[in-house]
Amino acid sequence: MACCFSRLLALAIKIISPTKGLNTSAQIFELMQVYPQGITVQELSNRLNRPVSMLNLCLKSLVASKKILARKNHNQWVYTVNNTKSCLKGIGEWEVGSGK
């Protein structure tokens, strides 16, 4: 039986540098300003062209830091900006180009 591993294809992997601008968490927060009634993760995914899994990680972090609020609406989560003064402190301190 001949081994099929002798014909492995070499894949070229290109490592890219982060781009300048807002990271994903900052983009989420900025977009949420336009939706005071709230926005779902699927809507965020469609508008930001990011996978839902990445957005869920960012949303979890934003909820934990109390910058945004999450509420269950029927069978999906809706996220809104937390507008209390104490929670808006430090909003401008986003990491640029970190990817999250």
Rounded Cα gap, residues 91 and 29, in angstroms: 9
Rounded Cα gap, residues 28 and 82, in angstroms: 13
Percentage of the chain lying above the pLDDT 70 cut: 74
| C-beta separation of 61 from 45 below 8 A | no
Give the pLDDT confidence of 14-50 residue by residue, as tens digits.
887 777 888 999 999 999 999 989 999 999 999 999 9
Determine the pLDDT at residue 80.
Answer: 95
Rounded Cα gap, residues 17 and 9, in angstroms: 26
pTM over 0.95: no
